[in-house]
Amino acid sequence: MMNIKQVLDAKDLACPMPIVRTKRAMDTLQSGEVLEVHVTDKGSIKDIPAWANKTGHEIVKHVEESDVLKFWIKKA
């Protein structure tokens, strides 16, 4: 079971705002906590995993539901 601490609605935001908002939200979490992110910007399908990899955070899960991409990111 995931310890989802916060849900970030970044739908209808253009690049780079989904990453900016994701970073800000992650800064408020403790190590091991999970941020659930909802985005519609198609670039995020590559940008969010690349950012997570660069910063050491883990993409626990990723799904696409209609036009919404959902990521669950575990803080390092």
Q: Which residues are catalytic?
A: 15
Identify the H or E element spanning 69. Answer: strand 68-74
